Amino acid sequence: MKCGCARARLGGGAGTNPSEASDVPDIQRVAPERAQPGHRPGRSSIVRGEIGVGETLPPEMQICEMMDVSRTVVREAIRTLTGKGLIESRPKSGTRVRPPEQWNQLDPDVLRWHLETAKIDRYLAKLFQLRSAVEPAAAALAATHAGEDDIARIRAGCDGMDTAKTNEDFVAADIKFHQAIYFATRNEFFWPIAQMFEITLRQSFTIAAPGSHRPRALREHRAVLDAIAAGDAEAAREATVLLLAHSADDLVRIRGREFETPPAPARRKR
């Protein structure tokens, strides 16, 4: 058990958090599920990779005394992390960190933890790759599957963008618009992607909006809405492709080259 002389925190953002200290602190790190929006972030060193993949973290009892909480709390935290696929615990061998491929990358919490540690540009780029794949298809499905209420929600998003005064309102309406499209597919497999979209964008909503070209964005959003309302799947797809392309342009313009380059060229075979 070289494990880690009290250094292996379940949620230990160690030095990153200002203030903190005090006597009550680490519980909130351990119990990620209690992380309310307003709560302080620092947690889950697993996502950070501070605890190697496949390696076991200290036994429950040890964790208990490390952060001075009861085993109940520790177990609940473990249960939560297990549910998100981060760890896996078996009776005698302890609790192990599962390989990153297996954990639920779209889970809201996992997403947030990642956002705290990762390069934001890389992350936005990857997110955009997924959006580019999914959202046109979602719009097309929405065109053929949406009900009246779905369309009303989409329109509400559009209108909200129109009448928004503050930047924040604008982004909020924007998010609602896109979410409504995902829901309008009537396909629950698309919904988690909408969730992810919301979280990621809400975390970094200062990035995109200020630099974007609002009138054009509005026009394009409404084009998508119209196509969906008309039930024209192809038009909806194309309008979405256009919207995403311009949105990507905006991001590149604001964030610079780093955004547009693929995250990991890795190999240049051939």
Partner DNA sequence: CCGCATTTCATTTGTCATACATTATGACAA
Partner DNA sequence: TTGTCATAATGTATGACAAATGAAATGCGG
**Which parts of this chain interact with a second copy (CB under 8 A)?**
13, 15-18, 33, 72, 75-76, 79-80, 82-85, 88, 100-102, 104-109, 114, 126-127, 129-130, 132-134, 136-138, 141, 144-148, 151, 183, 185-192, 194-196, 229-231, 262-270
Which of a second copy, DNA, none does residue 183 bind to, with CB < 5 to 8 Å depending on kind?
a second copy
Binding site for DNA (CB under 7 A): 1, 13, 27, 29, 31-34, 59-61, 69-73, 75-76, 78, 89-95
Of 35, 24, 25, 30, whose CA–CA distance to 9 is shortest?
30
The structure tokens listed for 142 are: 């929405």
State the minimum distance, in angstroms, from the CB of residue 165 to a second copy. 28
Of 194, 181, 191, 184, whose CA–CA distance to 223 is shortest?
181
Which of DNA, a second copy, none does residue 80 bind to, with CB < 5 to 8 Å depending on kind?
a second copy
State the minimum distance, in angstroms, from the CB of residue 173 to a second copy. 18
Which residues are within 8 A (CB) of 6 and not within 5 positions of it... i.e. 6 or more apart?
A: 66
State the minimum distance, in angstroms, from the CB of residue 167 to a second copy. 26
Which of DNA, a second copy, none does residue 94 bind to, with CB < 5 to 8 Å depending on kind?
DNA
Which of DNA, a second copy, none does residue 34 bind to, with CB < 5 to 8 Å depending on kind?
DNA
- Between CA 220 and CA 216 the distance in angstroms is 6
Which of DNA, a second copy, none does residue 106 bind to, with CB < 5 to 8 Å depending on kind?
a second copy
CB of 78 or CB of 235, closer to DNA: 78
Write down the residue that tokens 């009776």 correspond to.
Answer: 91
- Measure Cα distances from 201 to 13, 155, 194, 207, 266 in Å: 23, 20, 11, 9, 27
Q: Give the type of residue at 9.
A: R
- Measure Cα distances from 150 to 66, 92, 98, 99, 190 in Å: 50, 51, 39, 38, 14
